[in-house]
Amino acid sequence: MTRAALLTALLLLAGAHAAAGQSLLSTRGLGVPIAPVEARARALGGASIGLLGVSPSLGNPAGVAGTGFRGVAVAMQPTMRDVEFAGRAGSIDATRFPLVRILYPASGRMTATLAYGSFLDQTWAVETEGTAVIGSDTVPTTDLVESTGGIAQLHLGAAYTVSSALALGASIGIYTGDLQREITRTFPDTLTSPLRSFQTRVSWNYRAPLASLGIRWDPLPLLRIGASFTWVGRLEAEGDDGDPPDRAYDLPLQFGAGASAWLAPRVLAAVSAQWAGWSRAADDFQPPAQAGEAGTVARDVWNLGGGLEWSGPRAGERSFPIRLGFHYAQLPFRLDSEADASEWAAALGLGLRLAGTEETPLAVVDLALERGRRHGASSDATPDGLTEDFWRLTLSLNLFGR
Amino acid sequence: MIHRFLAGLLAAALVLGACGDEDPTGVGGPLLPGGVVRSFEVVLDAGTFLLADTSAGQFHTPAQVGFLIVAHEFGGPSPPLEPGLEAHALSRFGPAPGTVAFRDTAGNTRTDSLPRFIGGELLLRFDTLRSQAPGPVRLRVYPIVEAWHPGSASWTLRVDSGQVRLAWTEPGGTRGTAVDSAEWAAGRDTLTFTVDSATAAAWTDTANAARGALLLAEAEARLRITSVQLRLRARPSARPDTIVLSGVVPTLSTFVFDPPAPATRALQVTGTPTWRSFLRLRQRLDTLSVACADCPGGRVRLADVVINRAALVLQPVAGPPGFIPEDSLLIEARPVLVSELLPLARSPLAGRAAGVLQSRLAPAAFAGAGAAPVELPLTSFVAALAATPVAGEPQPLNTLALLGVPEGVLFGFATFASRDSVGAAPRLRLVVTRAIEVELP
């Protein structure tokens, strides 16, 4: 890898955010899970495990086995959402970086990796206009609740090529991140008797250990199967600003499996399924502060996806793969008065090799455009619940050096 | 190489261009049922927040203000002022001018250094809006016939310089034979009194320590005079058939009144002499626990809430009738830099007000019972007292002075119920907000 490419990678690592605002459903529980996958897998319905070809996503530590080049993979994901809830609608834009990964072939059989990826998004903001009865007066209020932060995962791992058909991978790391919650109340219409605004801010720092194992098996030259298992220790949320109480949560065991195969000389199919045992975190949630209030519950969730990749048109030695995919995921958190939340998305993707050959690419850009919907928070009070229709663009860049 | 450069550039551009923040949205309000903050009112009684209060009236004496008061039986009869307020205006004039200007027969202006003064007139201008009388009032001008000191004279003392105290033979100013009289009626802004040549000469004789004019009213009234001018009639020596008027500005004026401004049990603010009231609030308001409907245990410490507004609630009470302010007034609270080396009344005040009444108070508020309480906002001052102290930082100021804005423009003063008043003592009204739920699930 050139010095310039290394510098670029460091810049990207420094600027990576675990989350930058993804869903109002992250008001529930510990937030909304965000998959640390790049654009190719995103376009194939999130099927990153067992995917033929280079797969820098974090789903399977064995996925990068056999990569003979130094490289860096970066993904960026702007999202535009139309939100509707309780008769009100709005639009929200946000951008995040779900994945940064550095690859380094330590030997002919082993590839070392350092990766930083998203895990849980806890960034949201809600503004509410209301009134407060103060003594004999009723004054208008505007409450702004802003939650900024999330949890990301840092992996140090290695993938080992046992044979031409079998690779193993392992990684260790930590879940890390922080969360700031800021509440502001302003009194917009008190000119004659001005009321100073209220603001409070608390923050936490997150830490939890993790370890992941993966296997990649090519039983046939045209077929690849992968599987992974991730163990996570207890997430410690240590109170920081504002001295909030510390909290701790059991994070889920996670299993993933997937496969891909060449259905035709130029058509690839990929599927994957992932399971996360989030229900174990529910025991650590606090009961409602007051009787009659809804508590937070968690459930085990499935994340399913698949897609097709057509090698696409060619221009000289270059090909431009076109991808279609579909993805469905259950969301783990809700209030006990609400129905379960979920999301789906249909994806269209495009690949573009900027430099290098098909066998030894130097720079590859992948795009995935998803149209999807999240739905949740439906209850007796709000039977239609919260709907987020989103356009999500994932753009990833893979740079390699010989 | 170019491709690698372009690739790196694209990556950097992606990073720089992708930094965006979540916009606040009003869509998700119902996602947080029950709200996340509560605002409520707390009213602290005087015993809780007020350690002491007192009033001092040693600022801006009558000789220092820019107006004069003449009163007769004003506000009476009512104890303890029966038969009412009496006030006399005293003016001392400077020397007669050494020269006068006149026109000669050719119409040219000339100056004569040997004029002969043949009398004059005393011109008074009134503040008609701040003068009160039920009917026409005859005002009479007298010469003062005892030596007196304009800076310290009072109703009973003609000199009160601290070391020397000399009483008037006649309280209110020992006077000679009346010089002239004139009738004032509501709306009239000017009165003129004729002054004979002997009186004019006596009033402008700077060797005469008794010189001066005394003005009194003979009917119920409290009149406010904004200026006094002695104008002398002179015949120029070069043209004795001509009379010219030449003004003599009083060097010093004051007014004396009876009874003296009473020190009531109320908090007194502004007036002449000017009153200030001092309130010492409790330090460490943060340690106070106040009622809170939805707090654990039903109470919350002030340290755990944010004070959105704090206001001192003052109850106007009836003041002595003769001393009711002659106009609406504004009151501010200034922090006091209390020093053990100085009495409280002489302690310096902070340069900026901690709070100002939001509207002017009408004199009627002090004319009888039943006036509505007034609020003096003190949010920053009280918030500092309710903040948890930081080690190594000085304690916030906790003493306030209530004073008129500006001072020295009114004769009457405002009166408010003090800490000892049952049921009407000052209160501290707070609007506070606390977070209900900011924690992790």
Report the alpha-carbon distance of residue A18 to residue A22 in Å, rounded: 11
- pLDDT at position B437 is 62
Report the alpha-carbon distance of residue A188 to residue A74 in Å, rounded: 44
Environment class of A332 (CB within 10 Å of its CB; exposed 0-12, middle 13-18, buried 19+): buried
What is the largest distance, in Å, between two alpha-carbon atoms of chain B? 115
Min Cα distance B395 → chain A (Å) is 22
Cβ-contact B172, B155 below 8 angstroms: yes
Sign of the four-CA dihedral B346, B352, B357, B360: positive
Q: How many residues does chain A have?
A: 402
Cβ of B11 within 8 Å of Cβ of A397? The answer is: yes
Residues in B touching A395 (Cβ below 8 Å): 14
Q: Which of B33, B307, B441 sits opposite A286 (nearest CB)?
A: B441
Residues in A touching B375 (Cβ below 8 Å): 193
Max mean pLDDT among A208-212, B53-57, B108-112, B271-275 falls in A208-212
Cβ of A193 within 8 Å of Cβ of B307? The answer is: no
H helix runs in B166-261, sequence order: 197-203
Q: Cis ω on the peptide bond leading into residue B406 (within 30° of 0)?
A: yes
Min Cα distance A208 → chain B (Å) is 16
- Report the amino acid identity of residue A331: L
- Non-local (6+) Cβ contacts of B374 within 8 A are B313, B314, B316, B357, B361, B365
Residues in A touching B386 (Cβ below 8 Å): none
Q: Which residues pair with B377 in a beta bridge?
A: B311
Report the alpha-carbon distance of residue B38 to residue B32 in Å, rounded: 13
- pLDDT at position A10 is 38
Cβ of A143 within 8 Å of Cβ of B4? The answer is: no
- pLDDT at position A217 is 95
Q: Which two tokens stand for residue A95?
A: 């951008």
- Non-local (6+) Cβ contacts of A24 within 8 A are A83, A85, A124, A126, A377, A386, A388, B25, B27, B28, B31
Residues in B touching A396 (Cβ below 8 Å): none
CA A335 to chain CA centroid, nearest Å: 22
Report the alpha-carbon distance of residue B335 to residue B314 in Å, rounded: 17
Buried/exposed A338-352: b ≥16 CB within 10 Å, e otherwise: beebbbbbebebbbe
| End-to-end alpha carbon distance in chain A | 7
- pLDDT at position A210 is 95
Please check whether residue A382 touches B, CB under 8 A: yes
State the ipTM, two decimals: 0.73
Higher pLDDT, B415 or A14: B415
Coil/strand/helix, residue B319: coil
Cβ of B379 within 8 Å of Cβ of A196? The answer is: yes
Q: Which two tokens stand for residue B395?
A: 């304690």
Cβ-contact B23, A92 below 8 angstroms: yes
Average pLDDT of the residues in B262-268: 85
Report the alpha-carbon distance of residue A67 to residue B414 in Å, rounded: 88
Residues in A touching B298 (Cβ below 8 Å): none
Cβ of B37 within 8 Å of Cβ of A204? The answer is: no
Q: Cis ω on the peptide bond leading into residue B262 (within 30° of 0)?
A: no
Cβ of B3 within 8 Å of Cβ of A362? The answer is: yes
Please check whether residue A128 touches B, CB under 8 A: yes
Q: Which of A24, A76, A185 sits opposite B31 (nearest CB)?
A: A24
Second-level CATH architecture of A3-366: Beta Barrel (2.40)
Q: Which two tokens stand for residue B7?
A: 């690739």
Min Cα distance A220 → chain B (Å) is 35
Residues in A touching B29 (Cβ below 8 Å): 86, 88, 126-129
Residues in A touching B428 (Cβ below 8 Å): none
- pLDDT at position B297 is 83
Report the alpha-carbon distance of residue A239 to residue B439 in Å, rounded: 10
Could you count the other beta carbons within 10 Å of the beta carbon of residue B33? 14
Cβ of B436 within 8 Å of Cβ of A185? The answer is: no
Q: What band does B273 get if pLDDT is binned at 50, 70 and 90?
A: confident
Q: Which two tokens stand for residue A311?
A: 């090698």
What is the largest distance, in Å, between two alpha-carbon atoms of chain A? 80
Cβ of B440 within 8 Å of Cβ of A74? The answer is: no
B321: part of which helix (H) or strand (E)?
none
Residue of chain B minimizing CA distance to A136 = B41
Residue of chain A minimizing CA distance to B310 = A195
Cβ of A134 within 8 Å of Cβ of B41? The answer is: yes
Min Cα distance B228 → chain A (Å) is 42
Average pLDDT of the residues in B69-89: 81
Report the alpha-carbon distance of residue B228 to residue B13 in Å, rounded: 81
The structural domains of chain A, with segments of one domain joined by +, span: 3-366
Please check whether residue A186 touches B, CB under 8 A: no
Kindly state the DSSP code that residue A8 receives in the 8-state scheme: H
Min Cα distance B355 → chain A (Å) is 12
Residue of chain B minimizing CA distance to A148 = B22
Mutation choice for B interface testing from A121, A200, A250 by most B CBs within 10 A = A200
Please check whether residue A86 touches B, CB under 8 A: yes
pLDDT above 50 (res B353)? yes
CA B97 to chain CA centroid, nearest Å: 36
Q: Which two tokens stand for residue B185?
A: 């009626």
Cβ-contact A169, A60 below 8 angstroms: yes
Which residue do the tokens 């002659």 mark? B326
- pLDDT at position A93 is 84
Could you count the other beta carbons within 10 Å of the beta carbon of residue B381? 23
Residue of chain A minimizing CA distance to B34 = A293
Q: Cis ω on the peptide bond leading into residue B80 (within 30° of 0)?
A: yes
Report the alpha-carbon distance of residue A348 to residue B66 in Å, rounded: 86
- pLDDT at position A346 is 97
Cβ-contact A324, A358 below 8 angstroms: no
The pLDDT > 90 percentage for chain B reads 61
Environment class of B101 (CB within 10 Å of its CB; exposed 0-12, middle 13-18, buried 19+): middle
Cβ of A192 within 8 Å of Cβ of B358? The answer is: yes
Please check whether residue A264 touches B, CB under 8 A: no
Beta-sheet pairing, B109-112 with B157-160: unpaired
Coil/strand/helix, residue B29: helix
Cβ of B28 within 8 Å of Cβ of A285? The answer is: no
Min Cα distance B386 → chain A (Å) is 15
DSSP string, A135-164: TTEEEEEEEEEEEEEEEEEEEEEEEEE-SS
Residue of chain A minimizing CA distance to B6 = A354
Residues in A touching B20 (Cβ below 8 Å): 20, 78, 93-95
Residues in B touching A282 (Cβ below 8 Å): none
Note down pLDDT in tens along chain A; length 402 residues.
444 444 444 333 333 333 334 578 888 888 999 999 999 999 999 999 999 987 888 889 999 888 888 999 999 999 998 988 888 888 888 888 899 999 999 888 999 999 999 999 888 888 888 888 888 888 888 888 888 999 999 999 999 999 989 999 999 999 999 999 888 999 887 666 688 899 888 899 999 999 999 999 999 989 999 999 999 999 999 988 887 888 999 999 999 999 999 999 889 999 999 999 999 888 888 887 666 777 889 999 999 999 999 987 887 777 889 999 999 999 999 988 899 999 999 999 999 988 887 777 888 999 999 999 999 988 888 889 899 999 999 999 999 886
Q: Which residues pair with A146 in a beta bridge?
A: A125, A182
Average pLDDT across chain B, whole number: 87
Least confident among A126-135, B173-182, B202-211: A126-135
Cβ of A294 within 8 Å of Cβ of B33? The answer is: yes
Min Cα distance B309 → chain A (Å) is 5
Cβ of B36 within 8 Å of Cβ of A143? The answer is: yes
